[in-house]
Amino acid sequence: MQTDPALSRLLVLRSAAIAVQFIAVMVVYFLFEHQIALLPLLSVILIEAIFQLLSIFAYRKVTKAKPSAVLMQLTADLLFLTILLSLSGGATNAFVSLLLLPIMIAAVSVNAKGLAYTAVLAIAAYSFLLIKMPEHTMHQMQMTHHFIGMWINFVISAIVIAFVIGTLNSTLRAREATIAKAREQQLRHEQLLTLDGAAAQVTHQLATPLANLQLLFEELQEQQADDPIVQEMAKPLAQCKQQLEHFRALSNALRTGETQKVISAQTLQHTIEDAMTLHFPEQSLQWLNDAPQCSILSDAMLLPAILNLLQNAVLANKKNQQNTIEAHWQIDNQQLSLSLRDFGQGFSEQQMSALGGQLMPSKSGMGMAVLLSNVTLERLDGSLTLCNHQQQGAIATVSLKIV
């Protein structure tokens, strides 16, 4: 069975419990010759076995069971166990403490509300068994105070077990989540270091050929100044030169530690407009509102991070024959958000689950740019959120802390 682990363990334990219950009833009745209700007990065990088979059939392919499903199974276990105990001595049965087992299982399988529900149900089951005991039995045996003490002991045990195991389970889950997050961050940092080393090496190797191309271009300008092909070469060479200068400036800032500064939202908007006009003149960036009066933390990588998102938006627009990108500012709880919406085909489910967290092999190149943008924003105490627009396209929301 490819069943949810928590539900699978519960079904295995119930199978073993049914076998033990059947053997115990037969041994007590035939070997110890105790007067027990054999037929009713066997009928309850048979119904429990049928319920077990139906549960196995129903959840045989459920890889992620809902908490309500686990609670339903635990409720059934408490119900069957309570009926069996009531038919074999009630609260005087030596195995009445087995009512604590569903609480232990719930402590490691469900949330706090489900655990509280199971504990209350088990206490109610024990209370029912105690109340249903004949009064003459308690008076004849002079065990009234003893059974009441056992009930109090059961309640205390149930509360302690639920609290201790539930707290330990929550702590372990939080620790596992922290370890998983740290492992993911370490893997991402290793990827970024690899990309950083490769980028530095490629940039260094391209510096000399670009300088030679610049010299050849200047000679061509002197010889064939009116040639349209020579004129078109000016813009890409200028962009390459600008990117190399930006990379050198960034490397120098990283060495000196002067990487972060405070800028206004208006300054960031003007910078984005200039960069958009320079790199994507064929696209129209429409601001739905003006930049608010506030300041944010920035560094040399903030603009490239936003440009990466704009580049992905431009690529999505081109695939859908669109040329408009909408930008919207919003302030919420000391967070400045910039939403960038394209009019492409939106993200697929696979892209939504992986973009920004890992490198994605893609023909369109999407994945690396969003990963780098996400890391840059996290370093500035910000975040990146990706979603699809209800009507058309995708939205990339950059959130930055207001300082």
pLDDT, one tens digit for every residue, the chain (403 residues): 456 777 888 888 889 989 998 998 888 888 876 777 889 999 999 999 999 999 988 888 877 878 888 899 999 999 999 999 888 888 888 788 888 888 888 888 888 888 899 999 999 999 998 888 766 555 555 566 667 777 888 888 888 888 888 888 888 888 888 887 777 667 666 655 565 565 666 666 777 787 888 888 888 878 887 788 877 888 788 878 777 777 766 666 655 655 678 888 899 899 889 888 888 888 889 999 988 888 888 877 788 788 888 888 888 888 888 888 999 998 888 888 999 999 888 877 666 655 544 444 444 444 566 777 777 777 778 888 888 888 888 888 988 888 8
Distance CA 388, CA 394 (A): 4
Local structure of 285: helix, strand or coil: strand
Helix axes 5-30, 38-58, angle to 10 degrees: 160
Distance CA 343, CA 325 (A): 7
Per-domain residue ranges of the chain: 5-183, 187-256, 261-401
Determine if residue 392 is left, alpha or beta; phi over 0 gives left, psi from -120 to 50 gives alpha, anything else beta. Answer: beta
Single out the residue of 157, 169, 164 nearest to residue 122, CA to CA.
157
Amino acid present at 151? W
pLDDT at 121: 94
Burial of 354 (0-12, 13-18, 19+ CB in 10 A): middle
Chain position carrying tokens 């206004």: 264
pLDDT at 19: 92
What is the number of other CB atoms lying within 10 angstroms of the CB of residue 204?
11
pLDDT at 60: 82
Chain position carrying tokens 């596992």: 176
Tokens at residue 158, please?
Answer: 């149930």
What is the number of other CB atoms lying within 10 angstroms of the CB of residue 80?
20
Amino acid present at 101? L
Helix axes 368-379, 302-319, angle to 10 degrees: 150
pLDDT at 83: 92
Tokens at residue 383, please?
Answer: 């975040």
Just give the CATH number of 261-401.
3.30.565.10
Strand order through the sheet with 383-388: 284-287, 324-331, 335-341, 394-401, 383-388
Considering the entire predicted model, what is its pTM?
0.53
What is the number of other CB atoms lying within 10 angstroms of the CB of residue 322?
18
What is the number of other CB atoms lying within 10 angstroms of the CB of residue 371?
23
Burial of 9 (0-12, 13-18, 19+ CB in 10 A): middle
Single out the residue of 93, 72, 71, 73 nearest to residue 83, CA to CA.
93
Asked if residues 100 and 119 have their Cβ atoms less than 8 Å apart, the reply is: no
- Strands 260-264 and 335-341: what pairing? unpaired
Single out the residue of 246, 248, 228 nearest to residue 238, CA to CA.
246
